[in-house]
Every structure is written in structure tokens, then in C-alpha cells.
């Protein structure tokens, strides 16, 4: 009986601790609901101006990332289209070689293929430069202008 009494006493003590913890939680929730939450929010170390500035900067960063991602998607689509045109050119060249019956036909097919390849390489270079420039312009928006000017007007030196 002594063992059962000790065990019940421990259970009762544990239940009492749980009840008091719950009671403190309920009281805290009631105080927060009745406007005492302002006292708790004053413990926030960041002033509201700083929070607003951080929020604005985060929105700007998100907008820049969206623009950059859109540029990447556009460039990706251009290069996928380019790969498809390359596959079509290779298929056309292969069929012309397969149907050629003379050295002149084969030479003509090779010359047309080479001419088209040079055109595609030229277009690739232009697209690469344009895409790189757009990408760098968008990526440069990530950095404050003060990083590039060394605190002087008129650029860095």
C-alpha cells in the first residue's frame, strides 16, 4: 500500500505541474488577447523603420530575381529552338547526301550545309552576346551602385 500511495502521490504531483503549466498558458493567451501583446512586441529588437526597409529590399530582390529568371527562360527557349534547327539541318543534309548521285550533287549539298552552318554560327554569336548583356544588366541590379563608385561620383577608379 505504501508503494501505491507513493506512485499516486507522484502522479498527482505531475498532474498538478501539468495543470499549472496549462493555467499559465491560458492566462498568457488571455493577456495577449486583451492588448497586453503590445508589451511583448516592444521586446522586438528591430525598429519598425528597419523592418519596413528590409521588407522593401526583399520585394526589390524578389522582383530582380523574377526578371533574371525570365531572361534565363527566354535564353533557354532560344537555345532549344537553335538545337531543333541544328537537328533539322543535319537531317536535311543527311537526306541530300543519301539522294546525291554524283560528286557535283554531293559537293553542292556540302556547300549548302556549310553556308547554313556559318549563318547559324553567326546568329549564335549574336544571340550569345545579346543574352549575356541582358543577363549582366539584370544581375548588376543585385549590387548597390556604391559598390562600383568607391564613394565618388563619376564611376570607379
Sequential DSSP letters for 57-91: HHHHHHHHHHHHHHHHHHHHHHHHHHHHHHHHHHH
Q: What is the pLDDT of residues 133-156, one digit of tens each?
A: 988 888 787 776 555 555 454 444
Q: What is the pLDDT of residues 20-79, one digit of tens each?
A: 665 555 555 555 555 554 554 555 566 777 778 878 888 888 888 888 888 889 989 999
pLDDT of residue 37: 47
**Domain identity same for 55 and 2:** no
pLDDT of residue 66: 87
Residue with cell 500500500: 1
DSSP 115: H
**Domain identity same for 101 and 129:** yes
**Domain identity same for 86 and 12:** no
Residue with cell 543535319: 90
Query: Does any domain span residue 58?
Result: yes
pLDDT of residue 156: 47
**Domain around 112:** 48-151
Query: Does any domain span residue 61?
Result: yes
* N-to-C CA span, the chain: 90
Q: What is the pLDDT of residues 71-122, one digit of tens each?
A: 889 989 999 999 999 999 999 999 999 999 999 999 999 999 999 999 999 9
**Domain identity same for 21 and 83:** no
Amino acid at each position: 500500500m505504501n508503494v501505491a500511495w507513493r506512485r499516486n502521490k507522484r502522479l498527482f504531483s505531475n498532474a498538478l505541474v501539468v495543470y499549472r503549466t496549462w493555467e499559465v498558458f491560458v492566462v498568457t493567451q488571455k493577456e495577449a488577447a486583451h492588448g497586453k501583446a503590445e508589451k511583448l512586441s516592444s521586446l522586438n529588437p528591430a525598429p519598425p523603420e528597419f523592418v519596413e526597409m528590409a521588407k522593401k529590399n526583399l520585394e526589390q530582390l524578389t522582383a530582380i530575381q523574377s526578371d533574371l529568371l525570365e531572361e534565363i527562360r527566354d535564353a533557354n527557349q532560344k537555345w532549344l529552338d537553335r538545337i531543333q534547327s541544328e537537328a533539322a539541318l543535319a537531317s536535311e543534309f543527311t537526306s541530300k547526301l543519301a539522294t546525291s548521285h554524283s560528286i557535283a550533287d554531293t559537293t553542292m549539298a556540302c556547300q549548302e550545309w556549310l553556308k547554313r552552318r556559318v549563318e547559324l554560327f553567326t546568329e549564335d554569336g549574336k544571340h550569345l552576346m545579346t543574352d549575356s548583356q541582358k543577363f549582366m544588366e539584370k544581375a548588376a541590379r543585385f549590387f548597390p551602385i556604391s559598390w562600383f563608385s568607391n564613394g565618388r561620383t563619376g564611376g570607379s577608379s
